[in-house]
Structure formats: structure tokens, C-alpha cells
């Protein structure tokens, strides 16, 4: 399989899973400003939507959208332990409420203060839910690392860049400290050039 990614973008969640589960893969980075791959290809020809992740499956088909890619990788490893619908509920929540909320601040960082504050207030409510959920838990779902953890860590890592303060969230901070020592996450951060 081949993963098209952009360093630190939401595609990092899939990249983490490849490393976590030792799945054979190749990667190619994409410049999301120019929509060119590192080999100079027009990324729109690979994914007409123009954003990552794009996963080229072994059968040649292309799969896009985080929920689909992360579900596919999870199913390929039989990694969803527990109620599948609760797993999908969390995957959708991270995608639609956290990813879209926090991610939108990249575009509004210098926008009207009332718009930025409105987004941050909504994100804070979502982070409170996550914080409460993580109390007494090592992972988001079940008793093992899953796609939910890979995705949540990816999105939470955007918070300092968009000035979302995580200090009020005790359990999120404890969770992040644990997750950042995980070898698959460290390896992915190094491969994407985000740490030395």
C-alpha cells in the first residue's frame, strides 16, 4: 500500500497505524499548497479532492477520507475490539467535531476575533467531553491502541499551533504524555520531519 501524506496533517493518523501495526507500506509527501507530490506529480490526478490522506490499495484502488482509511486499516488487522458502532461513533466525533473544529483555526488564525473565539468555545466543549472520557483510561477505546488514538493524537498536536490551550484538561494531558512516548508515534514524527 502507498500512503500520500502531508507532514503533521490528518494523514499522520494513518501513518502512525502503519508503524504501530508493522504493515508494509510506502509513502509520498504532498505539498498541499501546490498540490504536487514530492515526485512532482499532480496530486489532483491521484485524489481529485486535493487533500490527504490518499491510500493506494494493493489492488490499485484509491481510498480517501480519514474515516474510511482508518477503518480499512483497522479491519485489515482485526483491530476493532469491542462494539464496532461505538468505535465508529468515536471516529466520527474526532473527525467532525475535533478535526474540523481545531483544523478550521488554521484558516482563521488572523480572522475576526469573535469568529476565532466562537470556534475555540465550541472546541473547548468537545475537549471537555474527551477529557471526561479519558479519566481512568489508557486508550480512547477498549484496552489497546487503536485508530482512535492515532487520530486523536494527530488532532491534539495541532492545538499549540492554533493557540488552543490544553492546560485545563488533566486527563488529555496525561494521555498525550503517554502517547508521545509510543514508538510508532515517535517514528512517524521523525519520518514526517516533525522531530529530530
Asked if residue 38 belongs to a domain, the reply is yes
Q: 94 and 149 share a domain? A: yes
Asked if residue 90 belongs to a domain, the reply is yes
Asked if residue 16 belongs to a domain, the reply is yes
Q: 72 and 88 share a domain? A: no
Structurally, how many domains does the chain consist of? 2
Domain span holding position 10: 2-78+185-191
Q: 118 and 148 share a domain? A: yes
Burial class (CB in 10 A: 0-12, 13-18, 19+), 48: exposed
DSSP character at residue 63:
E
With a CB cutoff of 8 Å and minimum separation 6, the contacts of 16 are 150, 153, 154, 184, 185, 188
Q: Give the CATH number, domain containing residue 36.
A: 3.40.30.10
Q: 123 and 61 share a domain? A: no
Q: 18 and 98 share a domain? A: no
Q: 92 and 8 share a domain? A: no
Q: Give the CATH number, domain containing residue 165.
A: 1.20.1050.10
- pLDDT, residue 109, reads 67
pLDDT at 110 over 80: no
Asked if residue 167 belongs to a domain, the reply is yes
- The tens digit of pLDDT for each residue in 1-15 reads 999 999 999 999 999
pTM of the model: 0.96
Asked if residue 196 belongs to a domain, the reply is no
Asked if residue 112 belongs to a domain, the reply is yes
CA dihedral 132→133→134→140, nearest 10 degrees, is: -160
Asked if residue 116 belongs to a domain, the reply is yes
Asked if residue 176 belongs to a domain, the reply is yes
- The tens digit of pLDDT for each residue in 5-55 reads 999 999 999 999 999 999 999 999 999 999 999 999 999 999 999 999 999
Amino acid at each position: 500500500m502507498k500512503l500520500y501524506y502531508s507532514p503533521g496533517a490528518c494523514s499522520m493518523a494513518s501513518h502512525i497505524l502503519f508503524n504501530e501495526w508493522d504493515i508494509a507500506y510506502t509513502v509520498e509527501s504532498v505539498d498541499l499548497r501546490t498540490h504536487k507530490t514530492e515526485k512532482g506529480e499532480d496530486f489532483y490526478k491521484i485524489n481529485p479532492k486535493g487533500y490527504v490522506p490518499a491510500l493506494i490499495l494493493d489492488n490499485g484502488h484509491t481510498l480517501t477520507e480519514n474515516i474510511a482509511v482508518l477503518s480499512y486499516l483497522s479491519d485489515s488487522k482485526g483491530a476493532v475490539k469491542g462494539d464496532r458502532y461505538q468505535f465508529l461513533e468515536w471516529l466520527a466525533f474526532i473527525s467532525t467535531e475535533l478535526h474540523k473544529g481545531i483544523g478550521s483555526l488554521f484558516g482563521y488564525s488572523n480572522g475576526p476575533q469573535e469568529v476565532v473565539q466562537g470556534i475555540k468555545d465550541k472546541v473547548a466543549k468537545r475537549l471537555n467531553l474527551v477529557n471526561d472520557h479519558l479519566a481512568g483510561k489508557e486508550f480512547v477505546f477498549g484496552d489497546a491502541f487503536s485508530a482512535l488514538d492515532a487520530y486523536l493524537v494527530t488532532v491534539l498536536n495541532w492545538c499549540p499551533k492554533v493557540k488552543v490551550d490544553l492546560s485545563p484538561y488533566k486527563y488529555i494531558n496525561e494521555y498525550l504524555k503517554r502517547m508521545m512516548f509510543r514508538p510508532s508515534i515517535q517514528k512517524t514524527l521523525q519520518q514526517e520531519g516533525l522531530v529530530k
